[in-house]
Structure 1
Amino acid sequence: MHNYLDFEKPVADLDSQILELKRISADEGSLDVGDDIARLEKRSQDALVDLYRKLTPWQKTQVARHPDRPHCLDYVQRLITDFTPLAGDRYFAEDLAVIAGFGRFDGAPIAVIGQEKGSDTQTRLKHNFGMARPEGYRKAVRIMEMAERFAIPVLTLVDTAGAYPGIGAEERGQAEAIARSTETCLNLKVPLVSVVIGEGGSGGAIAIAAANRVLMLEHAIYSVISPEAGASILWRDAARARDVAQAMKITAQDLKSFGIIDEIVEEPIGGAHRDRDAIIGRTADAVRRSLRDLSGLDGNALKAERRNKFLAMGRDLKI
């Protein structure tokens, strides 16, 4: 059974009927309900296609946050061979919200940095729900600088509601760490490809996503602030998050039209969580294309292209 989102109730009802018919068929044995099951399965699939064809920004936010959606480590385990994680920022501590290390993609060396949310209560607590502290961003800087030293391209996987806002993180220089990580991205002289696989929240995302190519999954979101936080600031009412999601233009389709991202990776019908193999394979293809496009540029050209791309954002923008 899937974990159904609120707006998926029509599909959930149909799938429940299908399961009940299958149970009855198994219990009764001689009862032939194959045609009924096939008819309901088609109705369920058609309903799913119809729902996902016209998702609102708030519904896309729910899909991006789905607990079964593949996370950073899922992509690393399936795409990166010989992956060796590196720990610590060489200043304070290790931050398990950020996964970073080196491995091979299609047999070639690559540095990987990603935010890991965790998939159950234990791992979510372990990875702090993907919300990095300053040491996580300083670890990211360390890995990027090492990758540049050895002329190794960098892949980042973005999936965070934002940087961790705790007192300790602020005391240890959260804003400075985010700014330094963003600066390092912009100054790298090796190819940098970022993929927003779920939530791209605020500075916590841009700190590892100021890339030559920014890819975004079809139902991911990318925003300057979470819809709930934006609603709390504007109206002191987090319940108006859906209004903020609509106003902020946080979907991949909006951001592609504004030139904020470079490519949308199509998700399976019903979201990435319904077919992990398919979405990870499509993401691999998109990363492969981006790395191939960047392979002919030298270090100075890569840096100049990246900086010019971000400096151009917002110029002559018509909303």
Structure 2
Amino acid sequence: MRKLYGFVLALSCLTCTASYADITRGATAYSKGDYTLAYKEWLDSAQQGEVIAQFDVGTLYLSGKGVAADPVEARAWFAKAAEQGHAKSQFNLADALRVGVGGPRDPVAARAWYRKAADQGLGIAQCYVGIGYESGDGQAVDLAEAIALYRKSAEQGTPCGQERLARLLFVGKGLEKSESQAIALYHRAAEKGLPEAQSNLGYLYMTGHGVAQSSTLALSLLKKAAQQGDAPAFANLAVMYSSNRDIEKNLTLAFAYISIAQSFAETDQARTILSADRDGMAKLLSKDELSKANVIATNWHIGDPVPSD
């Protein structure tokens, strides 16, 4: 699963009919950047049980637009809408339950809500359920079911489904191997901003595996993924700045990148490997260079431009 939350924040109200007066007024206010008014309009409808308004109020509490960010309130509103069968709310509730946003973690309940949203055809939920079947997270591994769900997700243009299907196609896992199809899917998902796709595609351009090697394209893709907190992207940027012949070596920057990668790594195994790489690189730097690199790494946050020379 992604480290960054996959919450759906697109506002359902933007397609509401005029009969939902409060919701429509809220949508108009939101489109003009008046989030406080949008919150007031939607809250009234949400309190009356209007499912779309409940979802929209939840998104405002989650994002902190028009009201102080409150993950507990966000989760509560998503739960109200989810119980009424709203697919995006079911997905958001599942994500909150999976990672423990706004309340305790409950992986079992999360899987159930992902499944409900997937059964309604929500592409991102289909992808997440597929990931569960592929990994065997809390259930028996079923690669065929995972692939079927990835296909359904990808056919809707969902980046998650495209990227997961690309991974399997590239190595021929459960499917006939096709690097060309995989790369095409990676490109589609990367163009929509999915960091995993940008990172994987950047690695392929860095190594020339399945594509013509291009350090320029690799850097561009890896930096886009890294800006979103993708640990493998930072790790590969470290490789490029420490050993790529097309790029001027900069061990200080490479050390900063590997440090950031370690802090965002999702598994103990990845953190252990990155720690060893970091320790080895540290031996090549002076005290001042290490100090500078640590400042760069410490001061970087998700969404900031990737540190450069």
Q: TM-score, normalised by structure 2?
A: 0.27
Name the one with the larger helix percent: 2
Name the one with the larger strand percent: 1
Q: TM-score, normalised by structure 1?
A: 0.26
